[in-house]
């Protein structure tokens, strides 16, 4: 895809959430035409009022293949094609794996991993018709290193990284670029949910990122044609280094968790979940 994005057509899933909203606003500033997807139609409608353009609003459940197929079909038929996909929809249900309900397991795998599989699989033919495109996966640093009390979430994010890296190889001859973006903890309603429902202390080691930082990383991935972008960059590098020495993880993680617990107490974050 060329560097000129004015008039390009983009789908953003999970657009009503904190990160999705910020990506939509940035894309709108860049002149990108938007197809916004989420299960929260009211959130999409409120977001549309903040944009200069008139986005297509599609209530879509990414776990449902028919719903995803309808999203792609409407985008192509009503907007004229598809150039950019930001696969952003995601959920977390913090708990020890041994205590995890199958309902929570299915939800996280369905939204985080299979949702990305569905929307990406359906988007590729539309991008091929346009002669190329760019797919951006919003992963997480949990796609590089384990996150305690989030084994299922971590599993889905490791899977997303594998999907993105493999597709970047497979789709090169189709002129379709695939980028993975790895944010650290972000100040969103999902992070607030983690704080109130037993999230990993690792998540609260530092100040959470602003959603604007993640949107900027998505733009960097598209503009610079980056395979992977870490937010912040330093944490991504440290995470990759840690992943090279898995034997150190059982030694280091308890120390990091204790540091996270101390910060949670100091900040009054989810004090009911740390004893």
Sequence ranges of the domains in the chain: 9-273
Calculate the CA 84 to chain-centre distance: 15
Helix axes 18-29, 211-223, angle to 10 degrees: 50
Q: What tokens does 147 get?
A: 């996150």
> 11 and 83 in contact (C-beta within 8 Å)?
no
What is the per-residue pLDDT across 180-222, written as a single tens digit (0 to 9) for each?
999 999 999 999 999 999 999 999 999 999 999 999 999 999 9
Please confirm, yes or no, whether 153 is among the known catalytic residues: yes
Report pTM: 0.94
Q: Quick one: pLDDT at residue 272?
A: 42
Closest listed residue to residue 220, CA positions, set 210, 231, 211: 231
Instruction: Examine the pLDDT at 112 and tell me if it is beyond 50.
Output: yes
Q: What tokens does 99 get?
A: 């205590």
| 231-238: average pLDDT | 94
Instruction: Examine the pLDDT at 275 and tell me if it is beyond 60.
Output: no
> Is beta strand 56-59 parallel, antiparallel or unpaired with respect to 176-183?
unpaired
What residue has token string 């919003």? Answer: 138
Q: Quick one: pLDDT at residue 6?
A: 86
Q: Quick one: pLDDT at residue 138?
A: 98
What is the per-residue pLDDT across 59-88, written as a single tens digit (0 to 9) for each?
999 999 999 999 999 999 999 999 999 999
Instruction: Tell me the CATH architecture of domain 9-273.
Output: 3-Layer(aba) Sandwich (3.40)
Catalytic residue among 102, 153, 193, 230: 153
Instruction: Examine the pLDDT at 2 and tell me if it is beyond 70.
Output: no
What is the per-residue pLDDT across 126-158, written as a single tens digit (0 to 9) for each?
999 999 999 999 999 999 999 999 999 999 999
Pairwise CA distance, residues 144 & 243, whole Å? 7
Q: Give the percent of the chain with pLDDT over 70.
A: 97
> 34 and 51 in contact (C-beta within 8 Å)?
yes
Pairwise CA distance, residues 186 & 213, whole Å? 9
């Amino acid at each position: 895809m060329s560097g000129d994005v004015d008039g390009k057509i983009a789908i953003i899933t999970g657009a009503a959430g904190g990160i999705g909203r910020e990506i939509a606003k940035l894309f709108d500033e860049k002149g990108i035409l938007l197809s916004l997807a989420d299960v929260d139609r009211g959130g999409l409608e409120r977001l549309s009022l903040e944009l200069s353009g008139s986005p297509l609003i599609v209530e879509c459940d990414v776990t449902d293949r028919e719903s995803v197929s309808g999203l792609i079909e409407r985008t192509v038929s009503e907007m004229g094609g598809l150039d950019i996909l930001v696969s952003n929809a995601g959920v977390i249900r913090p708990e020890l794996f041994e205590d995890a309900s199958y309902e929570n397991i299915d939800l996280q795998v369905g939204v985080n991993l299979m949702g990305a599989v569905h929307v990406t699989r359906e988007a590729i033919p539309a991008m091929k018709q346009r002669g190329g495109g760019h797919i951006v996966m919003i992963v997480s640093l949990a796609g590089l290193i384990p996150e305690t009390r989030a084994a299922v979430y971590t599993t889905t994010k490791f899977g997303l990284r594998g999907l993105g890296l493999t597709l970047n190889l497979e789709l090169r001859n189709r002129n379709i670029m695939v980028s993975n973006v790895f944010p650290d903890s972000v100040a969103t309603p999902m992070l607030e949910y983690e704080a109130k429902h037993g999230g990993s202390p690792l998540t609260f080691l530092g100040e959470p990122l602003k959603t604007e930082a993640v949107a900027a990383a998505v733009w960097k991935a598209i503009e610079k044609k980056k395979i992977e972008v870490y937010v912040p960059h330093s944490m991504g590098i440290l995470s990759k280094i840690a992943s090279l020495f898995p034997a150190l993880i059982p030694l280091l993680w308890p120390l990091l968790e204790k540091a996270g617990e101390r910060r949670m107490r100091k900040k009054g974050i989810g004090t009911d979940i740390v004893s």
